[in-house]
Chain A
Amino acid sequence: MEVRVENLSKNYGAVQALRDVSLSFVDGGLTAILGPSGCGKTTLLRCIAGFLEPTAGAIYFGNENVVGLPPQARGTAMVFQNYALWPHMSIFDNVAYGLRLQRLPKDEIRKRVIDALNMVEMMVAPDILERKPTALSGGQQQRVALARALVVRPKVLLLDEPLSNLDAKVRQRLRVELRRLQRRVGITTIYVTHDQEEALSMADQVVVMDCGEVRQVGTPEEIYRKPTTAFVAEFLGVTNVLAGTLMADGKTVLAAGTQIPLPEDVPASSDHFTIVFKADSAYILQDQPVPEDAVTFAGELVEVFFVGSTYRHYVKVGKEMLLVDSPFRVSGPQVKVVVPRAELQIYPGAPLGHDAEPTCSVG
């Protein structure tokens, strides 16, 4: 089922939770909606499920605009962060609920429930059907919740931070299984998460949202390697963000005492620029010659932390503190931070600032 939203807006009084969102979701694939809390991602999901009525815009399932249809008539199935299994019903009754609503014959219900539980690898014990959900671990409960959603063969599968309540180990494993399962059933899936690693590793398409707006849509690789806005770049990974000002020649930006020529595809449309690069794309040199196609910041090595997979270097350049990840420890104090030009992103406009108040106030 192809799912599209067009010019979708949702207001709560004066607060705009969604602002003119237009998206198309991968048919049969997994689209992750990624963003900080309050970015509107859950609002978008609930509009698609029908729990919220958008203020304006359209939601298409295939060629049908489903805005105005009650949630019961939309044929979506949702998996919730808190599992939302019914504690007074057995596992069987939980999974069978949707099928009983469709008044299917008993034999078929039983067969499909068992199939679904097999699919999520929950037919682990002979008495599993009779057990109550509270007797299961969090990971097992979420598997059952997934079976309950899949058993009705929904047109669209909606997942609202389904792994957020689980501990890291279970989360890692379920991530892989969920991805495999989704590929197998081929149901158009919309996955809301605030965890960028989860979004990047699972999705065919990632939508980054902020302040009720879509900031970027792309494959995980595109989002990670070529963020098109400063927000996306900052939100993904350990990132350095510098404020730059346009120099008098209109072709060079001055940031942290270093002149950076503006790339040709970035117009000199603003006096202020945001310069972004990832901690692992830069490296540190001492006296060695600097390669040509790179930008250099001269600074003072303040601190080095071993963070497991890498050494994280803190280099003070003017007033700014830069982070550089390197597989080996470099000693200071005077060092050069070198960033290949291709790894440096420049956006017009001043940076948002790490500790700045969010510019939007979305519930």
Chain B
Amino acid sequence: MNRVKIARIVLVVVISFIIFGPLSSLVIWSVAEKWYWPHLLPQQVGLFYWGKVFQGRMMQALQVGVLIACVVTALSLLMTVPLGYVLARFRVPFKAVVLLIFLLPQAFPQLPVFANATVYLYRANLGGKVPGVILIHMVGALVYAVWTMTAVFKSIPASLEEAAINLGASRIRTFWNISLPLATPGIIASALLIFLYSLDEFTGTLLVGSPFVLTLPVFMYNASQGYELPVASITALLLMIPGIILLLVLERYLKAEYLSSFGRI
């Protein structure tokens, strides 16, 4: 029994090291006030950079990033909840084409696609502005959203809706009373995925937004470019927090049925 216990502890330690080991350097860097080669650990440790980060532009970048992520999530859901329902329930002509169109931007390398989009956005006077960044985020977010929403509605048996229609409920009423409440866990899961995607999006934000719209990933990039590694590390740590929290929530809502119906749209 004891040997099993020891083996288990060793296993946990090893796995923890694999997961958290790379992150530990971020933590060390975030508190390093002075750290020169060839020292193994920083010579001077303190919260100087943490204070600096929280006073400066980083908080602003965080605010802008969260605002953009919220708008992107709301807009994506507004578009894809009805669209996903229609694609899942009705015989839509060219259904495969519709789904493919949403997938298309992901089929090519991101950089040229976004660079091209940037040109158009600047031409439309949206470059360097928050709405422009929101639009470029939507390109990626809609892919997740359409495919997951279609899968979510597909996983609800049609007979549940037919039972309501049969008793006299209109299509729209059935959607509000039956389909939407049953899809809510899936919609929440989908919303979290979109939110995280937008919060972490880098390429498009840099190309369209920089230098006027700064989000955390771009801010971190700038910091590391300027050899402000403590600042970059702190930003990276902060960026992880919403991801971890949301993924814990996500795990509660994402059901196996959605995943299993993912392929057969």
Contact = CB atoms under 8 A, between A and B. Distances in A.
Question: Considering residues B165, B167, B170, which has the most beta carbons from chain A within 10 angstroms of its beta carbon?
Answer: B167
A148 B178 CA distance: 15
B70 to A, nearest CB: 27
A81 B163 CA distance: 11
B58 to A, nearest CB: 42
A269 B166 CA distance: 48
Question: Considering residues B163, B169, B181, B182, which has the most beta carbons from chain A within 10 angstroms of its beta carbon?
Answer: B163
Question: Considering residues A72, A77, A98, which has the most beta carbons from chain B within 10 angstroms of its beta carbon?
Answer: A72
A203 interface: no
Contacts of B15: none
Interface in B155-177: 157, 159-160, 162-170, 173, 177
A101 B159 contact: no
Contacts of B182: 86-88
Contacts of A84: 157, 159-160, 162-163
Contact of A152 (B160, B167, B173, B181): B167
Question: Considering residues A80, A81, A84, which has the most beta carbons from chain B within 10 angstroms of its beta carbon?
Answer: A84
Interface in A122-171: 145, 148, 152
Interface in B40-67: none
Nearest to A49: B166
A101 B167 contact: yes
B163 A78 contact: yes
Interface string A327-339: 0000000000000
A107 B16 CA distance: 60
Interface residues of A, number: 22
Contact of B159 (A76, A80, A97): A80
A288 interface: no
A72 B169 contact: yes
Nearest to B178: A86
Interface of B is mostly: helix
A86 B162 contact: no
B165 A72 contact: yes
A89 to B, nearest CB: 8
Contacts, number: 55
Interface in B164-207: 164-170, 173, 177-178, 181-182
Given A87-B182, A88-B181, A80 B168 contact: no
Contact of B167 (A80, A82, A88, A148): A148
B163 A72 contact: no
Contact of A101 (B162, B163, B169, B181): B169
A51 interface: yes
Interface in A59-98: 71-72, 76-78, 80-82, 84-88, 97-98
Contacts of A77: 166-167
A134 B186 CA distance: 19
B166 A78 contact: yes
A359 interface: no
Nearest to A74: B166
A97 B164 contact: yes
B181 A71 contact: no
A102 interface: yes
Given A81-B159, A102-B168, A148-B163, 6 more contacts: A72-B166, A78-B162, A84-B160, A86-B178, A97-B169, A101-B169
Interface of A: 49, 51, 71-72, 76-78, 80-82, 84-88, 97-98, 101-102, 145, 148, 152
13 contacts: A51-B162, A51-B165, A71-B162, A72-B169, A77-B167, A80-B163, A82-B159, A84-B157, A87-B182, A88-B182, A97-B164, A98-B168, A148-B163
